[in-house]
């Protein structure tokens, strides 16, 4: 989780990732952010985020992202 928070913090220091729960739905993260983030997460956690993972539910909060990462790591 710490590593994820660091990546998010570096990507968008202006966003409160601890508490935001509608990052995609409210448009806090835009498509530029998502493209950059997917690349960073794939590299850092040695995972491959697939198209069907790219739904708001998986990226709306840091917690949801962590859950997705763990799920993909288990595969």
Report the residue number, 19 or 52, with the smaller CB distance to another protein.
52
The total of other beta-carbon atoms located within 10 Å of residue 8's CB is: 22
Contact status: 27 vs another protein (CB under 8 A) = yes
Does 16 contact another protein by CB under 8 A? no
Residue 32 tokens read as 């530029």
Does residue 6 touch another protein according to CB under 8 A?
A: no
Kindly give the interhelix angle for 2-11 and 62-74, rounded to the nearest 10 degrees: 120
The residue ranges that bind another protein (CB under 8 A) are 9-14, 24-25, 27, 29-36, 38-39, 50-52, 54-56, 59
């Amino acid at each position: 989780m710490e590593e994820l928070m660091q990546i998010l913090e570096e990507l968008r220091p202006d966003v409160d990732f601890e508490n935001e729960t509608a990052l995609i739905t409210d448009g806090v993260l835009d498509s530029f952010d998502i493209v950059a983030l997917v690349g960073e997460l794939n590299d850092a956690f040695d995972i491959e985020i697939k198209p069907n993972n790219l739904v708001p539910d998986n990226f709306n909060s840091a917690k949801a992202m962590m859950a997705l990462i763990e799920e993909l790591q288990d595969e």
